Amino acid sequence: QVQLVESGGGVVQPGRSLTLSCAASGFTFNIYGMHWVRQAPGKGLEWVAIIWYDGSNKYYADSVKGRFTISRDNSKNMLYLQMNSLRAEDTAVYYCARKDAAPGALGIWGQGTMVIVSP
Amino acid sequence: EIVLTQSPGTLSLSPGERVTLSCRASQSVSNNYLAWYQQKPGQAPRLLIYGASSRAAGTPDRFSGSGSGTDFTLTISRLEPEDLAVYYCQQFGSSPPFTFGPGTKVDIK
């Protein structure tokens, strides 16, 4: 079945780096744009980044621009989010999500991975 | 950047009641690429509506979306106990960032 599984979350000190991974299965990964979305504890959803199906374009939220890098390996059906210079306000559940077959929506979501930035 | 505002912030209704949730954009959403998601406690979000008014696969027909331009609505025709959730709108306008609204929490009396 169509599935996204995130991994790589954990507790990290401010200023350090962490890389999240998202394993995709059950669909043709290399034809879909992919996104990262995060949710701070008790808060709403925040769109973080998008990468085009072929990796040719990447866009970021202002809150993470210059610190986070989205990437993908279509040969491995994997999506990544490299997070540098982490701050306390980056503490959140991070979801990877797939563009829906219909335009303008995220049709498939992973279960999320928790990142805690704390001294 | 398009800013989305949702109202009300929270509402508490009884099963069987009609629910109307609002999502307003700071500027027109291109192609009405406005999506609605449902997030139940402890779960990932789930797509309900795309293109402002098209139901995603598996969305019960008591959920409907409407609107265009800057004003959009999600309606639940008859509230069910399992509809307890937070509902978010998201816009996929002409360019990123693809912002979310702050959400509306639906409580069941």
Answer yes or no: is pLDDT of A14 > 90.
Answer: yes
CA nearest neighbour of B27 among B108, B105, B81, B95:
B95
Residues of A with CB under 8 A from a CB of B: 35, 37, 44-47, 50, 59-62, 95, 100, 102-107, 109-112
Provide the pLDDT for residue A101.
80
User: Is A104's CB within 8 Å of B39's CB?
Assistant: no
Residue of B nearest to A50 (CA): B96
CA atoms within 13 A on the CB side of B88: 25
Which residues of chain A lie closer than 8 angstroms to B51, CB-CB?
102-105
CA nearest neighbour of A53 among A31, A85, A36:
A31
Is omega for the bond preceding B41 within 30 degrees of 0, making it cis? Answer: no
Residue A6 pLDDT class (50, 70, 90 cuts): very high
Task: Give pLDDT tens digits for A75-113.
Answer: 999 999 999 999 999 999 999 999 888 888 999 999 999
Which residues of chain B lie closer than 8 angstroms to A27, CB-CB?
none
For residues A24-32, give the mean pLDDT.
96
Nearest-Cα distance to chain A for B104, in Å, is 10
Answer yes or no: is pLDDT of A2 > 90.
Answer: yes
Task: Give pLDDT tens digits for B53-80.
Answer: 999 999 999 999 999 999 999 999 999 9
